[in-house]
Chain A
Amino acid sequence: MNGTRRRFLEWSIGVLAATGVLTRGTKADAADPPDVPPWMKSPGAGFNDYGVPAKYENKVTRTFPRSQPGTTGSGAIRAPLEALEGTITPSGLHFERSHSGVPDIDPVKHRLLIHGMVKRPLIFTLDALMRYPMVSRVHFLECAGNSQLLYLPTPPTLTAGQTHGLVSCSEWTGVPLRLLLEEAGVDPRAPWLLAEGADAAAMSRSIPMAKAMDDAMLALFQNGERLRPENGYPIRLFLPGWEGNMSVKWLRRLKVVPAPIMTKDETSRYTDLQADGKSLMFTYPMEVKSVITRPSHGMSLAGAGLYQISGLAWSGEGRVRKVEVTTDGGRTWVNAALTEPVLPRALTRFRLPWHWDGAATVLKSRAIDDAGNVQPERDRFIAEHGSNAIFHCNAIQAWGVAASGEVKHVYA
């Protein structure tokens, strides 16, 4: 590697947090043939108990941690969307949102209690749950507060992951919640369920029984292995497509109740304050959304030529039907290719080859789901909901490309 290119890459990594610079191509250097590289001239390393990413990828980490003042685990840290491809988020990079840190739960000592309006209140151990019929489903999980920086009056100078990285996607495996509720003899007239975690906040939410009996799952596995502690080990409730806070982590208690409990996190938080001072409550499904992850804020295009636009789309109300992309600031829109399989309530990868002519422009993507929901432009979204809602922002993300190749977050 020559000195100029190394300095360029170091600059890119330092400034762009390993978002990957979109280079013009490779120049000849010492790595090229005919020389044989040193790693072919002696045996490689031995086996690993538990594999970790290549050391050269150590800049690819969760990003933008924010916690309440004086705390370390009461807040969130985001997935570096711009550094990832495909649709599955590595478990170690899945976003985290916690309300009082990550509890260190001994699975042998963990219990799940189901009580309230049931014929038979029951206590389950993890060993017991492992013997129940399980299902595996690929689903996104998105914090209701994802993309909230788009409510700001000026565009945040942050990466795609820092702005939209409170969404991730995993294969979740666990026991359909319906099976346990049926064993407990749930009162068929009972309309609600309180779910409570075993963290120091005993974080709790009221869940409609219809969702609990439909596709709710007690997730035990994430991407083939047991849940990560920060994602709810040893049990989390999982409610496909609904705001992430309701998929209560470290689940210890389910109480069947006649009405919502009105917990702190469904009243003072996770309600959406509108411009007129009214607040929307129980806004459960996450709206249809998309974001171009490459190129995106902080990256730099190395001159005119062919680039591959790549991004993510999802909807809490079904499958992504279509993603339209504009490369000319909204004058024309073309359909991006969706990578199969397109699964309901899962991240969907879209791609589009793009010939950049070297002139300044604006890139945007617009997702449409199979329920007919269309991702709105930001100005329309703000006009409708105001700037104070904090949650449920699914406005279109615009990236400005300067003639220099620099890509920046813009409102356009």
Chain B
Amino acid sequence: MSTRELACAALALLVTGCAAAGRVETPNLGRPATAAEIAGWDISVGPDGVGLPPGGGTATKGAIVYEQKCQACHGAKGAGQPNDRLVGGHGTLASKTPVRTVGSYWPYATTVFDYVRRAMPYVQPQSLTDDEVYAVTAYLLSLNGIIGENDEMNAQTLPKVRMPNQVNFIVIYPRRER
């Protein structure tokens, strides 16, 4: 074997060795997911509105859904009791007794849709229609004075809603300043 051949063999060994060390062999047992399968499970909605379904609703309609499905836990007009208060608390965050609600604290309106659709009502999650979720979202935003009671929330309008407390969040990751 010439010097050149030896060098080539050594290089090949080095490359193979590096590849083996850098990548763990896996059995490739994941089955390709179809678009329909993904659509059935993909319920997350980001602040850009990606993931919002067709449909829409207003506060007027949302009030009816709220009274039937939400009020028992969250009180009349989102006043709270026995569970979380959803309305009010504006201007309290820097006080000794901050009141964190959808209106005073939540930074993104899309989160209301995402969370209500996936987790509410507590005893019957994922039971509301998309129109009902839009309507309840509109109702909570309207009660908080963030939108008007006739403003329709849908895939176009909801991501445009600016929540009053959004400017007060300081993103720490990746560098933590504490």
Q: Which residues of B contact A122 (CB under 8 A)?
A: 30-33
Chain B nearest CB: distance from A153 CB in Å?
A: 9
Say yes or no: A183 contacts B82, CB within 8 Å.
no
Say yes or no: B44 contacts A194, CB within 8 Å.
yes
Q: Is the interface of B mostly helix, strand, loop or mixed?
A: loop
Say yes or no: B73 contacts A283, CB within 8 Å.
no
Q: How large is the interface on A (under 10, 10 to 19, 20 to 34, 35 or more residues)?
A: 35 or more
Chain A nearest CB: distance from B57 CB in Å?
A: 20
Complexed CA–CA distance, A204 and B25 (Å): 30
Indicate with 1 or 0, residue by residue over A367-399, a CB within 8 angstroms of chain B CB atoms: 000000000000000001101100010000000
Q: Which residues of B contact A70 (CB under 8 A)?
A: 73, 82-83, 122
Complexed CA–CA distance, A204 and B125 (Å): 14
Complexed CA–CA distance, A86 and B115 (Å): 40
The yes or no answer to A282 lying at the interface (CB within 8 A) is yes
Are A275 and B178 also in contact (CB < 8 A) when A123-B30, A262-B108 are? no
The yes or no answer to B27 lying at the interface (CB within 8 A) is yes
Complexed CA–CA distance, A392 and B83 (Å): 24
Q: Which residues of B contact A285 (CB under 8 A)?
A: 176
Q: Which residues of A contact B118 (CB under 8 A)?
A: 201-202, 204
Say yes or no: A69 contacts B43, CB within 8 Å.
no
Say yes or no: B82 contacts A280, CB within 8 Å.
no
Say yes or no: B41 contacts A268, CB within 8 Å.
no
Q: Which residues 272-301 of A have a CB within 8 angstroms of B? A: 273, 275-285, 287
The yes or no answer to A343 lying at the interface (CB within 8 A) is no
Question: Per a CB cutoff under 8 Å, which of A128, A200, A282, A384 touches B172?
Answer: A282
Indicate with 1 or 0, residue by residue over A64-76, a CB within 8 angstroms of chain B CB atoms: 0000111100100
Q: Which residues of B contact A210 (CB under 8 A)?
A: 174
Are A261 and B122 also in contact (CB < 8 A) when A113-B38, A273-B93 are? no
Are A263 and B168 also in contact (CB < 8 A) when A100-B122, A123-B37, A132-B26 are? no
Q: Which residues of B contact A271 (CB under 8 A)?
A: 169
**What are 20 A-to-B residue pairs whose CB atoms are below 8 Å?**
A123-B37, A128-B27, A182-B23, A183-B26, A183-B28, A183-B30, A194-B44, A200-B119, A202-B118, A204-B118, A208-B173, A210-B174, A252-B41, A255-B44, A261-B46, A264-B115, A273-B98, A276-B94, A277-B94, A282-B172
Give me 11 other A-B pairs in contact (C-beta within 8 A), A208-B173, A262-B46, A268-B111 excluded: A113-B33, A121-B38, A123-B37, A132-B26, A208-B174, A210-B174, A279-B169, A281-B170, A283-B173, A285-B176, A287-B178
